[in-house]
Amino acid sequence: MTDEKIIELFWQRDETAIGELSAKYGNYCGVVCGNILDNLQDKEECLNDTWLRAWNSIPPQSPKNLKMFLAKITRNLAIDRYKRQKSAKRGRGETELILEELEECISHKYDVEREVFSKEIGIAINEFLKTLSERDRNVFIRRYFYAESAEKIAKRYTLKATHVPVILTRTRMKLKNYLMKGELL
């Protein structure tokens, strides 16, 4: 079924939209949350929460790219679940490492206008990504949006495993400089 027809089912409040969404994007969203969460039960709960969030969001929203809309919902839910678990367990894992890596160049000192700042920094990061080579942009997105391991990224782009952290470090430095020039840091 096409994305447009699935969205139409949501607008009609037809519950078959959830089944169609799950059938078409269940595996994709499962990979997105599975890269962040390592527990099968957490992954399943995250997927169910994704479908519920989509149900509650469409309408009023009508996403232009349903796949990325769902990826963003899934990723945010998985990170929120991870943070709740981390605060309870204080364990160290891949997701914590990813968040720490990004904190080097995006730790923000503004608490008063946090929401506005978040939107501004999101726009700035999107603009920054356009300045990168396709490979570096993809490596950055795979690591920091999809939370893939460096080893998996290296295999995907036929790079040496030691080269991915180098690319990421250089890209984070470029991002930090880009944000400093834009006075966002």
Burial annotation 80-99 (CB, 10 A radius, 16+ → b, else e): ebbeebeeeeeeeebbeebb
Q: What is the DSSP letter of 132?
A: S
- Non-local (6+) Cβ contacts of 148 within 8 A are 35, 142, 156
- Find the mean pLDDT for residues 88-117: 57
Over range 155-177, report the average pLDDT: 92
Q: Does residue 100 register a pLDDT over 90?
A: no
Whether residue 109 sits in one domain with residue 56: no
Q: Cα–Cα distances in Å, from 12 out to 3, 26, 124?
A: 14, 21, 36
115 and 71 in a single domain? The answer is no
**52-72 average pLDDT score:** 93
- Taking a C-beta distance cutoff of 8 angstroms, is the pair 101, 148 a contact? no
Asked if 109 and 45 sit in the same domain, the reply is no
- Total domain count for the chain? 2
CA distance linking residue 94 with residue 100, whole number of Å: 10
When pLDDT is averaged across residues 99-108 and rounded to a whole number, the result is: 63
182 pLDDT band, cuts 50/70/90, is confident
Q: Region 133-153: what's the mean pLDDT?
A: 91
Domain boundary residue, one of 67, 89, 111: 89
What is the Cα–Cα distance from 7 to 3, expressed in whole angstroms? 6
Least confident of 88-97, 127-136, 158-167: 88-97
DSSP label of 146: S
Q: Where does the pLDDT of residue 97 fall: very low under 50, low under 70, confident under 90, or very high at 90 and above?
A: low
pLDDT above 70: residue 104: no
Domain boundary pick from 89, 107, 142: 89
CATH number at residue 120: 1.10.10.10
Which residue is associated with the tokens 């994709």? 28
